[in-house]
Structure 1
Amino acid sequence: MAPKDGPEHDHSPQAIAERLARGPTANYLRDWVYGGIDGTVTTFAIVAGVVGADLSAAIVIILGLANLFADGFSMAAGSYSATKAEIDDYRRLRRLEERHIELFPEGEREEIRQIFLAKGLDGRQLDEIVETIVANRQLWVETMLQEEYGLASVQRSPIKAAATTFAAFVVCGAIPLIPFLFGFDASALIATIMTGIVFFLIGSAKSVWSTQHWILSGLETTTIGLVAAGVAYGIGWALRGLI
């Protein structure tokens, strides 16, 4: 059986060369999980609040669809702006390091030395790795960005991040509305069951990229979502006499 970290890949020299030539890729998992959970939570919270207030199915549909697209667009815009800010900050720090290397090469060389000294290298080994890194300006800058600021060399696309967030928000957020759109009997109960399943699936899928067991991850996400919905239901029930 393959380990949880994923299937074993080929370690032949040719396979390694091809894999490294492709380079690392950006990961948009967090955008999907974030958008999916938020879309499901907010839409189901509206459903629960309206049901708690004992309002009609038409209001559930109107408010749910309005939230689905308006809030989904807002989430996508936020994801776009946040990702773009990360890229801008990376570029700013890269320019800063390039300037420091240009103006204070000995100080930057000493930073490289201390970084690898802290990793346990010393003596000739330390001297060799310092000389190797500072001999290559691009490697020098990238090493400083990774070691001093903890920045990854792969930058995520703001457009892809926004599109992933929006798609996850709409797809997952539409689930609680389906029973009301088709006029099913006991729509609130069906919506609750379907939403619980969605929460569990999102949490379970998330565990593929974590060390948490898929059942625990699914139950954790389900609990968070249903608690949020329960709060919305309670508020709607408490205020239903005002309408």
Structure 2
Amino acid sequence: MQETQETPQDKPPVRILLADDEAMIRSGVRAILARHPGMDVVAEAADGQAAVELARVHRPDVALLDIQMPRMDGLDAAAQMYRDRPGAAVIMLTTFGEDKFISRALHEGASGFLLKADDPRELLNGVLAVAAGGAYLSPHVAARVIGVLRDGPAARETPSPQVVDRLTKRELDVLALLGAGLSNAEIGAELFLVEGTVKAHVSAILGKLGVRNRVEAAIAAHEAGVVRRG
């Protein structure tokens, strides 16, 4: 029996939960996501508590959460989603005035950060990257995240740019693509490596950089100036 290969058109759409207390923001984000045939907004919420309840029902692939919402803010909602489903993927939607929340969002395990004022392509790229198991920082957010971590109380937890010198050439190649938001499978395709080898490289990178997850590794890649986009 011949095995059929799944094409991109055959893949189920990325199921998205959108939570923001401003109806106009939700409408705009929903309109952007609707442009992509591989994305489906399965639920919307105007507050964090409702977002948590809807996540339990719909089990979305990606949750897009505004940081500041009534009843329960996006950070507490993300934390509850991680308790309910440890593998949950959450992207925090931020504004320029919310830098003080970045460290906490990282601690809670956010998979990505996007500015509400970002180019719509960043929103689509971010959702696809996180849904595939990657981490995503839009270029504008990356600079702000780095600044917050460098100057704030979490600074001691982030590696200096020079720490990437500990990496092998291949590990540096992997980090450069990881910082651009690629998943292990996508990194493997780019570098002609099997996914298991990429996973081993990622584990080695996290250990050498002294970071806990892909988002922190992506931040290190941005800070060191090694991110590859294209």
TM-score scaled by length of structure 1: 0.21
Larger radius of gyration: 1
Using CA pairs below 8 Å that are at least 6 residues apart, which structure has the higher relative contact order?
1
More helix, by proportion: 1
More strand, by proportion: 2
